[in-house]
Each structure stands twice: as C-alpha cells, then as structure tokens.
Amino acid sequence: MSIIVAENLSKFYPVAVKEPGFGGTITHFFRRTYRNIQAVRDVSFEIAPGEVVGFLGPNGAGKTTTLKMLTGLIHPSSGRVRVAGHVPFRRQAAFLQKITLVMGQKQQLLWDLPAADSLKINAAVYNIGEREFQRRVAELTEMLSLEGKLNQPVRKLSLGERMKAELLAALLHHPQVLFLDEPTLGLDVNAQVGVRDFLREYNQRYQATILLTSHYMADITALCQRVLLIHQGTLMYDGSLEGLLERLAPYREIYIELAQPVPQAILSNYGEVQMVEGRAVRLIIPQEALTKTVSKILADLEVIDVTVTEPPVEEVIGKIFQTGLV
C-alpha cells in the first residue's frame, strides 16, 4: 500500500494584471483583473513505504509547491492527495506526528540559543517524555556526529553542523515520511557527504519514506533509485534513474589524447567538440555512430589514448530541462 498518493494534483495562483501608465494604475486600484498562473498541473504519482525518491526539476518547475501541498502548507486547486493515510491540508495532529519538512534555505532552530533548548521545545510540542527525549537525542546525535555541539549557540555552529542540527530537530519525533527540500544547499563537499550518509542510515534503520529535492546530482545518485522529473509544473518522468539515463542519453563522450594538437575545425568532423585543451580533446558522439567514429579517429589522427564514457548525470538532466522533452 502506498504511503504517498497524488492524483491529478494542480495548483493555480491568481496574479493581478496591471496596465502601464497612470491610467492603468487608477484602473488597477479600483477594478483589478487577474490571471491564473499554473504552478503544478495534473501531477500523479505514488510512493511506497521506505522508498527514497528524488524529485528533480529546474527552478520554478513546481517542486516546492508540490512539497507544500503534500505537507499541507497549501491547499491544492484540484486533485487528490493522501500522505500516511491523511489528507494533508487538514493538518490533523496525527498527520503532523507522521511527517516532517526540512528546507535547506529555512531554519527552525533559534539563532542565539543552543540547539538543545530548541530540541526541548520540539519535545514538548510532540509530547515526548524526558527519558525518551534523552534517548532519541543521544541516538541522533551519534548518527549525525554532533557530539559536543548541541550546547553551543546555533550561530556558532558551522553551516554543516547547523544543517545536521536542523535534521535532528526535524526527526526528533521519528516521522514516517521525510520531505527534504535542498537539505545540502550551500554545504561543502564533506558536509554534503555527511548528510547523505546520515539519510541513508536513517532510511535503513527506520524504513522511513524520503522525498528529496536537490540541485546536487550527487545527492540523487547516492540516495535514490527512483526519480520524479517535473518541468513547468508537469510531471515528465517517473521511474528509475538508470532508465532515465538510458532513455535520454543516446550519445557517448570520447576523451582523446593526441600526439600533437589538431585544429578544432578538423575535430568537428568527428562529433560535437566540447573541449580542446592542447592535445586533450573531448567529443560528444551519437551512440549509434560510436564504433564507426572511433575507428575513423584512430585511422585519421595520431592518438595516444582514447576513453569512451557515458555523459555525466548533470548534462543529461540539463538537456532535458533545455528541451522540455522526455
């Protein structure tokens, strides 16, 4: 049975339209007209308990709006949504006990107080007893490597430590469903790895369901076997990350080390030139022409080394967003 169900989920926002000039200002003041902006359009998907699903899309695609509908922060304009057996926008206490929302650009911890003080407030909100509170804090502190940090004012923590403390606060009530919106935003590489490792361990230990948005593809490839791809408010793809790459990457990259530099005009006869740095060349070749092209390069040019690879995930996703096609 699915723990998250979205059926034809849509969200429209009315936006006032104003004509230019003084006359337009007067008309706008006394008699406003509106047009609807569609942020999300007929999005449908289901997520099983324990799944970790990546939610991908460019800025303005509708990711955060969808998360807000799934968590009950905003009411959908149309469609149906159920999370953990509840209708989110009703914001029932039993529903709030089962979910959490972490937004990398927002914080819930009080800036000038130690994180431990904010955690006590969360424990009171969720009716967590003192003994259970201490046990959960100790467990999550160890998992997040935050020993000795919770009694410092939040403003004195590093960005990575603050994000980990935010996760601890958000997971103190052991939610079944985690909605994570850019949880590694702005973190350095080591801090990103630490957050990923924690989320992987938390999912395995508690079988928590995670819906994760991120602009860092390393987050998605490290944690998610399934991805949802949204573009201009419409769900374009729902399936495995591997399947998405196979479907949308009908080309290969060729890295060539030449014995001597070759003009780019000549290299362009073999494929799309991505990079030329001295004797090092990077080409993009259609997959169906790969064998023929490599053979021609070896026959025509003095090659020291050649490597064929699949294109990076970031490039594949970027091409999807540019074309809007799946």
The verdict on 242 and 280 lying in the same domain is no
**What distance in Å separates the CA atoms of residue 293 and residue 325, rounded to the nearest whole number?**
27
24 found inside a domain: no
Report the candidate in 256, 250, 252 with the shortest Cα–Cα distance to residue 297: 256
Q: What integer is the mean pLDDT of 69-83? A: 95
The two most distant CA atoms of the chain are separated, in Å, by 76
The verdict on 234 and 294 lying in the same domain is no
Instruction: Give the residue, 250 or 207, on which the prediction is more confident.
Output: 207
Of 171-175, 196-200, 292-296, 316-320, give the lowest mean pLDDT range: 316-320
The verdict on 158 and 225 lying in the same domain is yes
Tokens 């079988």 -> residue = 207
Average pLDDT, the chain: 89
Q: Is this structure's pTM higher than 0.85?
A: no
Give every CB contact of residue 203 below 8 A, 6+ residues apart in sequence.
50, 52, 210, 223
Domain encompassing residue 282: 250-309
34 found inside a domain: no
The verdict on 240 and 303 lying in the same domain is no
Assess contact for 95 and 30: CB atoms under 8 A.
no
CATH number of the domain enclosing 164: 3.40.50.300
Residue 288 pLDDT level (bands cut at 50, 70, 90):
confident
Residue 324 pLDDT level (bands cut at 50, 70, 90):
low
CATH number of the domain enclosing 281: 3.30.70
pLDDT digits (tens, 9 = 90+) for 215-267: 788 888 899 989 999 988 999 899 998 887 776 666 788 899 999 999 998 99
28 found inside a domain: no
**What distance in Å separates the CA atoms of residue 129 and residue 141, rounded to the nearest whole number?**
18
Residue 87 pLDDT level (bands cut at 50, 70, 90):
very high
